[in-house]
Amino acid sequence: MTRVAILISGGGSNMVKLVEAMQAEGFASPVLVGSNDPMAKGLEKARAMGVETFSVDHRGFGKDRAGFEAALSAHLHEARPDVVCLAGFMRVLTPDFVRQFQGRMLNIHPSLLPKYPGLHTHQRALEAGDAEAGCTVHEVIAELDAGPMLGQARVPVLAGDSADDLAARVLVQEHRLYPEALRRFVAGNRHFFSL
């Protein structure tokens, strides 16, 4: 059974949907949920779902990104994951870390890549006057938010939308997109899809 580890930084709503899908459908096994923040609310949600958790507080490492990542990957390798899913994980990973999991690490990004890599994606879409926004699941490579795209979901931008309004509308689609992208990835299907 494909073993899936998930990294989060906050509430973990995407992680919850991934774990629920795996537990309900059995297409993979959620073996570990980790965070760079020991206080991440998603950690207790994962434990409540019966998934083992860990945290490595990145603040304890200061500028020593390699040191943080060494601790992170040590926990990950212990769980022998076949796939690593970044889900609301807010730390930029170095090429050395990515290399350890390249080809089997996914991320969900709240924009229609290649538009708006990086942060504040919804504000940027609003400022650009876009009629549509959305989210993308992609394979993680060393370049930020730039790996092969697996799938996208789109939402309309509505008159008067705030960034929070748009974020909430996109998040609903993230919760549909990520489980479907993981199902397909685990099945070896790399064809791009749109929800």
Supply the minimum distance, in Å, between the C-beta of residue 119 and ligand GRF. Answer: 9
Say how many Å lie between the first and final Cα of the chain, rounded. Answer: 26
Active-site residue flag, 109:
yes
The residues that touch ligand GRF, with contacts defined as CB under 6 A, are 8, 10-15, 42, 87-88, 108, 110, 167, 171, 174
Supply the minimum distance, in Å, between the C-beta of residue 9 and ligand GRF. Answer: 7
Our CB check for ligand GRF shows the closer of 167 and 186 to be: 167
Which of the residues 58, 75, 77, 109 is marked catalytic? 109
Question: Which stretches within 79-162 are classed as H helix?
Answer: 95-101, 121-127
Residues in the chain: 195
Q: Which residue is nearest to ligand GRF (CB)?
A: 88
Query: Going edge to edge, which strands form the sheet with 193-194?
Result: 53-55, 29-35, 3-8, 83-86, 105-109, 132-139, 149-156, 193-194
Please tell me the distance from the alpha carbon of residue 53 to that of residue 23, in angstroms, as a whole number: 16
Our CB check for ligand GRF shows the closer of 5 and 108 to be: 108
Our CB check for ligand GRF shows the closer of 77 and 118 to be: 118
Active-site residue list: 109
